[in-house]
Amino acid sequence: MKNKRTAGNMIFSTIIVMVGLLFTKGSGFLRDILVGIKFDQNLYRDAFTLAFTIPDLFYNLLVGGAIFSTVAPYMSGAISVGEEKRGIKTVSIFVSVISVVMAIACAIGTIFSKPIYSLYALRSAGDGGIDEQTLNLAANASKLLFPQIFFIMLAALCIGIMNSYKRFTATSFGPTIYNICVLLSLVFFAGSSPEKLYMTTGGILVSAIIYFLFQYFMGFDKLRQFKFNFRPNDREFRKLFWRALPILFSSSIVQVNVVILNYFAGKFDSGSIYGFRNASTIWQIPYGVFTVAISTVMTPELAGLYESKKYKEASSLLSRSLKTSMYIMIPASLFIWLESLDVVKAIYQWTSSYTNTNAETASVFLKGFVTAIITASVIHIINHAFYAIGKTRVPFWSSFVGMIMNPFFCWTFIKLGMGPLSLSAAYSLTNFLQMVFLIVIYCRNKELAPTKMISMLIKSVACAVVAFVIVFMLDILLPAQGGKIVQLAIIACKGAACLIVYFGMGLALKMDEALFWINKLSSKFKKRAQKKAEEIE
């Protein structure tokens, strides 16, 4: 009974997180659309996009992935074995140390932004690259984005701690608040001039401060236990730090790859950096909403099961998380591949400043990302499984090898004449190899390895083939033409048809993944209705 109750609570928590992420991704989409509208010149679009890359690299290098992937599992493990006070003390020291380090790093980034961004200008003789005007604008704009990552870090720390207490509702909608504030900054300040570009990034700094304050007050009852305690020599802190260090490197390598990809994107036509950003945003919608939500709820739960030596339950939880994620990602990747150009146009082409050429550039990038929707989801969940059991070095080595392979594949594919497709294809191939590496290493521990994956994949592919045929026929009969509302309606209808056919086939094949959400949701709502009826009586 306890296991069923726990599973039901996890499903409800996952749905809450998904809703929050859906709002976050939706508001993030509006942000990208507004960037295309308000910055009506490719120069300022590229500069605005590029301005985030180095501050984001600093963030990921110093704290990014370690916040959730270290703090949440550590605190969850401490709570599960009745050592909450020990967890609070150690995490307080961890927060204090990285806050001081981040403050120093932000100051360095702000002062030396121009020399740092000049690294983008490095190129071989006769080779294309990002022009000097774009680099200067990006470097100046970043001076206000370096301080904002300090407040983003504080907000993320609040979220990591609250997730340890499984307070997912309190943490799910903070990023949406941040995105809404960013949207307001774009609406009121953005435009194609240096002054308006800098005012926009100033507004984003204020947005980050509001985001932190909102998140802190949402979890004040728990967060007030954590005090500033700068004791880097503490023994327990050192253990946590060495556990976090590989995660820091892993998350920074992800951002290093973004920097590398933006460097290569600068070799193509003007607007390629923004187009690459558009494609990245689109493919990360299903990944960012479903996979991240699943891992967010899974990680602290898995850490508690591992700490309590419940290995069979840990294996079952990981299996369920992987199957659920992959079952959703397969039709998403299929639909995005088939409808890439129409999807880009429907989302981003709101004014004539976003040309058909801009849409075609983003569409080419998007097609190359299709397999990454699936492989990145598997990587994300397996990485968090490693984090939950304290084996953080394996994801680091996977990311390190990926950092080497990614630019090599980019360079090779460009030389082979694949054009802009080279970048996303290189990223997808790198992801596939990383996925294989992680699965092989994790499955060496038979007790923790996921089970019954092959049959699920075979059935999912069969469902996907049928859905592909239906959507392909609809694409011929019903092209996405007409006004913007009509375009969106046609794309929505095709997406709905894809999901209905896919899930219908899953139900016909009696797949657990197709029945999972329906059964759990109906059970949850029935219990709530029964409880209310009993209260009334």
- Look at residue 1 and give its three-state secondary structure: coil
Which residue, among 123, 124, 147, 150, has the nearest Cα to 135 in the 3D structure? 123
Predicted pLDDT of residue 3: 47
Which residue, among 271, 253, 268, 287, has the nearest Cα to 407 in the 3D structure? 253
Instruction: Report the length, in residues, of the chain.
Output: 537
CB neighbours of residue 480 within 10 Å: 19
Per the CB < 8 A criterion, the answer to whether 331 and 470 are in contact is no
Token pair of 155, please? 């907000």
> What percentage of residues in the chain have a pLDDT greater than 70?
83
Given pLDDT bands bounded at 50, 70 and 90, which one contains residue 276?
confident
CB neighbours of residue 348 within 10 Å: 23
Rounded-to-integer distance, Cα 254 and Cα 259, Å: 9
Phi/psi of residue 219, each to 5°?
A: -115, 25
CB neighbours of residue 409 within 10 Å: 19
In Å, what is the CA distance from 487 to each residue of 54, 79, 225?
36, 50, 51
Token pair 């180095």 in the structure block, residue: 54
Provide Rg for the chain, Cα atoms: 23
- Among 160-164, 249-253, 379-383, the minimum mean pLDDT is found in 249-253
* Euclidean distance between the first and the last CA atom of the chain, given in angstroms as a whole number: 25
pLDDT digits (tens, 9 = 90+) for 384-394: 888 888 787 88
Rounded-to-integer distance, Cα 279 and Cα 274, Å: 9
Q: Does the pLDDT value for residue 520 go beyond 70?
A: no
In sequence order, which residues have a C-beta less than 8 Å from that of residue 130 and are 6 or more positions away? 46, 50, 120, 121, 263, 266, 273
Given pLDDT bands bounded at 50, 70 and 90, which one contains residue 477?
confident
Stretch 179-201: mean pLDDT, rounded?
A: 88
Per the CB < 8 A criterion, the answer to whether 153 and 120 are in contact is no
Q: Write out the DSSP string of 320-360.
A: HHHHHHHHHHHHHHHHHHHTHHHHHHHHH-SSTTS-HHHHH
Centroid of chain to Cα 436: 20
Which residue, among 115, 105, 93, has the nearest Cα to 62 in the 3D structure? 105
Domain ranges for the chain, please list them.
2-451
Given pLDDT bands bounded at 50, 70 and 90, which one contains residue 436?
very high
DSSP H or E segment with residue 472: helix 453-477
Q: Does the pLDDT value for residue 123 go beyond 70?
A: no
- Among 1-15, 87-101, 212-226, 249-263, the minimum mean pLDDT is found in 1-15
Which residue, among 388, 425, 402, has the nearest Cα to 313 in the 3D structure? 388
Per the CB < 8 A criterion, the answer to whether 57 and 252 are in contact is yes
Q: Write out the DSSP string of 193-237.
A: SHHHHHHHHHHHHHHHHHHHHHHHHHTHHHHTT------TT-HHH
pLDDT digits (tens, 9 = 90+) for 401-421: 888 898 899 889 888 888 888
Per the CB < 8 A criterion, the answer to whether 498 and 470 are in contact is yes
Predicted pLDDT of residue 124: 36
Given pLDDT bands bounded at 50, 70 and 90, which one contains residue 210?
very high
pLDDT digits (tens, 9 = 90+) for 138-175: 888 889 889 988 898 888 888 777 777 767 666 666 77
Rounded-to-integer distance, Cα 523 and Cα 1, Å: 14
Rounded-to-integer distance, Cα 497 and Cα 215, Å: 38
Q: Does the pLDDT value for residue 224 go beyond 70?
A: yes
pLDDT digits (tens, 9 = 90+) for 1-56: 444 444 445 555 555 555 555 556 666 667 777 777 788 777 888 888 888 888 87
What is residue 107's DSSP assignment?
Answer: H
Rounded-to-integer distance, Cα 36 and Cα 275, Å: 10
Alpha helix ranges (H) inside 219-307 = 220-223, 235-265, 272-286, 292-307
Stretch 492-505: mean pLDDT, rounded?
A: 87
Given pLDDT bands bounded at 50, 70 and 90, which one contains residue 64?
low
In Å, what is the CA distance from 367 to each residue of 328, 364, 376, 418?
18, 5, 15, 13
Rounded-to-integer distance, Cα 476 and Cα 48, Å: 38
Q: In terms of pTM, does the model score above 0.75?
A: no
Predicted pLDDT of residue 400: 84
pLDDT digits (tens, 9 = 90+) for 336-352: 888 888 888 888 887 77
Stretch 274-300: mean pLDDT, rounded?
A: 81
- Look at residue 161 and give its three-state secondary structure: helix
Mean confidence (pLDDT) of the chain: 80
Token pair of 20, please? 């929050």
